Amino acid sequence: MNTLLQAEGLSYGSGDRMLIDGIDLAFAGGSFTVIIGPNGAGKSTLLRLLSGELHPSRGTVRWNGESLNAIPAWRLAHRRAVMPQASDLTFPFTVLEVASLGTQGIGRGLSRGDRRRLAHEALEQADVAHLAQRNYQTLSGGERQRVHFARVLAQLTAGRTLETQQILFLDEPIASLDLKHQLALLQTARTLARDGLCVIAVLHDLQLSADLADDLVLLERGRLIGRGTPGAVLTPTRLAEVFGVTLNASPLPPSPWRLAVA
């Protein structure tokens, strides 16, 4: 495996309250990894450590061997984009302006027209182009999430003028989306992964995670419990242990209304 991002002995927290405790993980381009686990397992904290936002208490995260926290913010911004859980804006930015934040200062040799085109294309891709001139503050939660998806897509496209290997981090990207847009967003993420991007997402929906992810990372109380294909990670015993519920992990659709994801 061609490792892009590598965590070694990654820990975050202090004393007896370790939010992330001694995790070793490697991620490669062209894969869609989903981090799962019960509430408070440390999924978002792990994502923030891997994206460079938090500095580990112990251990390291390396990008192609280079310590993540030694990479300047502007360069990192060309290599990875992070879609936040939820975001409130105090000021009346338009949707187009929010998406354009993904291209401001990112990329090399892009004209003003190029950047505008990138932002528009990203809005199309996230199905919010019709809202381009709307005030972001007046949008619903789901629409806001799609705008931020557009913003990170624009950022990655702009960043590709400088960096070829990129990571997309998604922190519960579908929490407020309707079904259609949940599937559309995850499909887009998966297509990007097929094209060589490394996608790392935190998801709550085990069904969707199992259907879409190449790889699952299962966390419990800050520790890594399992890593591998959905079939290997989501065993009935593990589900019972970690989530405290009896689930039937079967390779076949358990009910007629089970979503078929192509």
Partner 1 sequence: MTALALHDGGPRFALRERTALLLAALAALVLLTSLAALGLGATGLAPARVFGIVADALTGRTAAMEGDALIVLQVRLPRLLLGLLIGAALASSGALMQGLFRNPLADPGLVGVSAGAALAAAATIVLGDALLAPLIGPLPFHALPVGAFAGGLLTTLALYLVATRGGRTSIATMLLAGVAFGALSGAIMGLFSYLSDDRQLRDLAFWSLGSLSGATWTKVTAATPFILPMLLATPFLARGLNALSLGEAEAYHLGVPVQRVKALAILFVAVAVGASVAAAGMIGFVGIVVPHVLRLLAGADHRMLLPASALLGAALLVAADTVARTVAAPAELPIGILTAAIGAPFFLWLLLRRPGGMAL
* Binding residues for partner 1 (CB under 8 A): 48, 51-53, 72-78, 80-82, 84, 87-94, 97-98, 101-102, 104-106, 112, 133-135, 138, 155
Of 35 and 183, the one with the shorter C-beta distance to partner 1 is: 35
Of 102 and 230, the one with the shorter C-beta distance to partner 1 is: 102
Burial class (CB in 10 A: 0-12, 13-18, 19+), 101: middle
> Alpha helices, DSSP H only, in the chain?
43-50, 73-79, 95-100, 112-125, 141-159, 179-194, 206-212, 230-233, 236-243
Of 105 and 254, the one with the shorter C-beta distance to partner 1 is: 105
Of 13 and 38, the one with the shorter C-beta distance to partner 1 is: 13
CB within 8 A of 15, min separation 6: which ones?
A: none
Least distance between partner 1 and beta carbon 126 (Å) = 16
Least distance between partner 1 and beta carbon 206 (Å) = 27
| Number of C-beta neighbours around residue 85 at 10 A | 15
Of 169 and 220, the one with the shorter C-beta distance to partner 1 is: 169
| Number of C-beta neighbours around residue 35 at 10 A | 28
Least distance between partner 1 and beta carbon 142 (Å) = 18
Least distance between partner 1 and beta carbon 233 (Å) = 28
With tokens 């990138």, the residue in question is 118
Least distance between partner 1 and beta carbon 106 (Å) = 6
CB within 8 A of 152, min separation 6: which ones?
A: 81, 82, 83, 102, 168
Of 72 and 256, the one with the shorter C-beta distance to partner 1 is: 72
Half-sphere exposure of 74 (CA within 13 A, CB side): 6
Least distance between partner 1 and beta carbon 162 (Å) = 11
SS3 for 237? Answer: helix
Of 38 and 84, the one with the shorter C-beta distance to partner 1 is: 84
Can you tell me the distance from the alpha carbon of 213 to that of 42, in angstroms, rounded to the nearest whole number?
Answer: 19
Q: What amino acid is encoded at 28 in this protein?
A: A
Least distance between partner 1 and beta carbon 198 (Å) = 16
Can you tell me the distance from the alpha carbon of 178 to that of 143, in angstroms, rounded to the nearest whole number?
Answer: 10
